[in-house]
């Protein structure tokens, strides 16, 4: 006999003019249960008590906390350090929106590169200061932090491409590995390697094949696992060398191992571009058409699906979200013989576009 236990949790719906919850950050000694052993850290004097505590991490030395705090309107992001003993706060960097209509997007690119207590902190930082997310090396003088952080190296850009995710740092060789796009190839995401010491240096693409790549990098072992698919090919997974980028081991091939792929014979969409009304932005689209040999040359009834964000780039060169979108494939050719042309468009707050365009959402 099996028993099912149901836990009911009632959460009040936020009401108009109700005060927002306030967040606190503190450090508690694990060797004591005394209430006065809790060290509460001062966040309120940055943007006031109504703010977002976005990210918190310890320094490697364990002597300080580093936090990212976002103001309520998401116009400013403070990178601050709290001393673990005294609670003293040091502002390492202040990121601000590029104009009144835009905002600061959070990301996971922050990495400590070199930390000397009470002397300096050098770190990797991602910013959309020029409209596209690029990487910078910045440094704060901890003995005199009043002047804020200084840009040491611009790692990527300028240019119309983005850094999507930092996946590895080689401190010894001064290299960073990241997933992102390249100019004119918005539909793909690939693995790149860049120097942390030379501004605007050449970016090396380690996964030159088209598609959406998801990579796990092991810098010490000199290898990475690459999972990639395109609209024409389901996911394959390989083990690759960081030196050459070439595959040394085939791990998985979804198209070969799952016989449903061949049986369903899903037809990929075709990609198209068109200009925005002000001619300043090239927009991406994907078109799914019924089988002309079965349903004739058209014209077909058309369903238009638009996606305006946040963040996700819907139109991209991948199998799972595009070709294997079974709802869309069903609408194109279903058993009732009611078939449609399906058009997907990515608008506004999708990361390939300049921040000022996304801010129009």
Q: What is the pLDDT of residues 178-233, one digit of tens each?
A: 999 998 888 999 999 999 998 766 799 999 999 999 999 999 999 999 999 999 99
Please check whether residue 184 lies inside any domain of the structure. no
Contact 140, 198 (CB under 8 A): no
Please check whether residue 146 lies inside any domain of the structure. yes
Task: State which H helix or E strand residue 90 sits in.
Answer: strand 89-96
Please check whether residue 214 lies inside any domain of the structure. no
Contact 124, 109 (CB under 8 A): yes
> Which tokens sit at 265?
């014979």
Task: Pick the last residue of a domain from 157, 176, 197.
Answer: 157
Residue 127 pLDDT more than 80? yes
Q: Is residue 275 domain-shared with residue 153, that is, in the same domain?
A: no
Report the number of distinct structural domains present in the chain.
Answer: 2
> Which tokens sit at 189?
């995401």
CA 296 to chain centre: 42
Please check whether residue 19 lies inside any domain of the structure. no
Please check whether residue 353 lies inside any domain of the structure. yes
Please check whether residue 258 lies inside any domain of the structure. no
Residues of the chain with pLDDT > 90: what percent?
61
Please compute the mean of the pLDDT values over residues 57-72 and round it to a whole number. 96
What residue numbers bound the domain in which 301 lies? 266-358
Please check whether residue 149 lies inside any domain of the structure. yes
Cα–Cα separations (whole angstroms), residue 119 to 61, 102, 116, 127: 14, 34, 5, 24
Residue 170 pLDDT more than 70? yes
Task: Pick the last residue of a domain from 106, 135, 157.
Answer: 157
Task: Count Cβ atoms below 10 Å from residue 140 Cβ, excluding itself.
Answer: 21
> Which tokens sit at 285?
């689209």
Instruction: Tell me the pLDDT tens digit for each residue of 293-315.
Output: 888 887 888 888 877 666 677 88
Contact 93, 151 (CB under 8 A): no
CATH number at residue 313: 3.40.50.1820
What does DSSP say about strands 302-307 and 341-346: parallel, antiparallel, or unpaired?
A: parallel
Contact 39, 87 (CB under 8 A): yes
> Which tokens sit at 305?
């699906």
Q: Is residue 32 domain-shared with residue 153, that is, in the same domain?
A: yes
User: How high is the pLDDT of residue 76?
Assistant: 97
Collapsing DSSP to helix, strand or coil, 288 comes out as strand
Paired strand residues for 262: none
Task: Pick the last residue of a domain from 118, 133, 157.
Answer: 157
In degrees to the nearest 10, what's the CA dihedral of 149, 153, 159, 162? -70
Contact 330, 291 (CB under 8 A): no
pTM (two decimals): 0.89
Please check whether residue 344 lies inside any domain of the structure. yes
Contact 346, 283 (CB under 8 A): yes
């Amino acid at each position: 006999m099996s028993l099912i236990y149901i836990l009911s949790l009632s959460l009040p719906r936020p009401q108009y003019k109700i005060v927002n919850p306030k967040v606190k950050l503190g450090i508690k000694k694990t060797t004591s249960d005394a209430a006065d052993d809790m060290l509460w850290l001062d966040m309120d004097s940055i943007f006031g008590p109504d703010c977002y505590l976005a990210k918190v991490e310890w320094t490697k030395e364990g002597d300080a906390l580093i936090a990212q705090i976002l103001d309520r309107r998401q116009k400013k992001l403070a990178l601050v350090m709290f001393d673990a003993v005294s609670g003293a706060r040091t502002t390492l960097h202040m990121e601000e929106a590029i104009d009144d209509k835009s905002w600061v997007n959070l990301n996971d690119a922050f990495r400590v590169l070199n930390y000397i207590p009470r002397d300096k902190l050098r770190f990797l930082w991602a910013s959309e200061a020029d409209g596209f997310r690029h990487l910078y090396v910045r440094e704060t003088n901890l003995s005199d932090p009043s002047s804020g952080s200084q840009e040491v190296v611009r790692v990527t850009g300028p240019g119309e491409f983005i850094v999507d995710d930092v996946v590895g740092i080689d401190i010894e060789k001064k290299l960073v590995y990241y997933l992102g796009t390249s100019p004119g190839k918005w539909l793909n995401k690939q693995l790149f390697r860049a120097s942390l010491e030379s501004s605007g240096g050449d970016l090396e693409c380690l996964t030159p094949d088209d598609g959406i790549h998801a990579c796990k990098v092991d810098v010490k072992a000199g290898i990475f696992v690459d999972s990639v698919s395109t609209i024409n090919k389901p996911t394959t997974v390989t083990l690759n060398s960081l030196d050459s980028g070439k595959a040394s081991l085939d791990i998985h091939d979804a198209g070969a191992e799952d016989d449903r792929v061949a049986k369903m014979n899903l037809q990929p969409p075709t990609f198209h571009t068109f200009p925005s009304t002000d001619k300043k932005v090239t927009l991406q689209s994907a078109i799914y058409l019924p089988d002309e040999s079965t349903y004739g040359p058209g014209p077909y009834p058309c369903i238009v699906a638009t996606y305006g964000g946040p963040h996700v780039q819907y139109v991209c060169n991948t199998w799972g979200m595009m070709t294997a979108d079974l709802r869309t494939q069903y609408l194109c050719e279903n058993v009732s013989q009611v078939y449609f042309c399906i058009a997907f468009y990515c608008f506004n707050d999708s990361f390939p576009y300049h921040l000022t365009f996304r801010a129009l959402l």
